[in-house]
Amino acid sequence: MRKQCLPGAAGTAKFVSFCFSKYVKDYDMSFSFGEDKGHKILSAFVNNSACMYQLMKFGRYSTEGFAAGDYCEVIFTGYDAQGKETGKTVFALGDYRDGKEFVCSEWTKVDLTALGTVNKVVITADVNNVSGLVATDSASGFSVCLDEIEFEVPLGE
């Protein structure tokens, strides 16, 4: 029997997974609009990949998952058509700071209006965990899933 993949945010059949690994060179975790016009970005649904969830929640083999003080945040940075930064939004995919034990396990709508009008959105991460399992420079790398990216098309389109 074939197992089914989990659906996207609104039960969609497809979504995007942005991945970073130290073994992949010159990879830009981003999405952009092809023309030189800006689009007002509104929101996106965000979730952990299965691998990220496992690493944070349970660890791998004899290495423990997240412990007190650990966190993993995805950072969305907007850029206009000239390459100037327009704003940032941070969302916690895992947070074990200040007594919390949170690992994102469901699609969550993230407000991206702070990015303003963008031509490109770059995705990075801020990670701190003792085990080192989750890191942008580890063998496990970093990944995040996105779906239902909402934006406004410029007038006249």
pTM: 0.88
The 10s digit of each residue's pLDDT in 121-151 is 999 888 888 766 666 655 567 889 999 999 9
More confident of the two residues 31 and 26: 31
| Cross-strand partners of 75 | 90, 124
Q: pLDDT tens digits, residue range 83-112?
A: 999 999 999 999 999 999 999 999 999 999
- The whole-number average pLDDT for the span 18-29 is 75
The predicted structure's pLDDT at residue 139: 55
* Residues contacting 76, CB < 8 A, separation 6+: 44, 88, 89, 90, 91, 110, 112, 115, 121, 122, 123
| Cα 85 off chain centre by | 18
The pLDDT value given to residue 35: 76
Whether 2 shows a pLDDT value over 60: the answer reads: no
Distance CA 20, CA 126 (A): 13
Question: Residue range 18-35: average pLDDT?
Answer: 78
Domains belonging to the chain, first-starting first, are: 48-152 (2.60.120.1350)
Q: What pLDDT score was predicted for residue 142?
A: 81
Q: Which residues lie closer than 8 Å to 143 by C-beta, 6 or more apart?
A: 17, 18, 19, 20, 49, 51, 52
Summarised one tens digit per residue, pLDDT across range 47-79 is 999 888 998 999 888 888 899 999 999 999 999
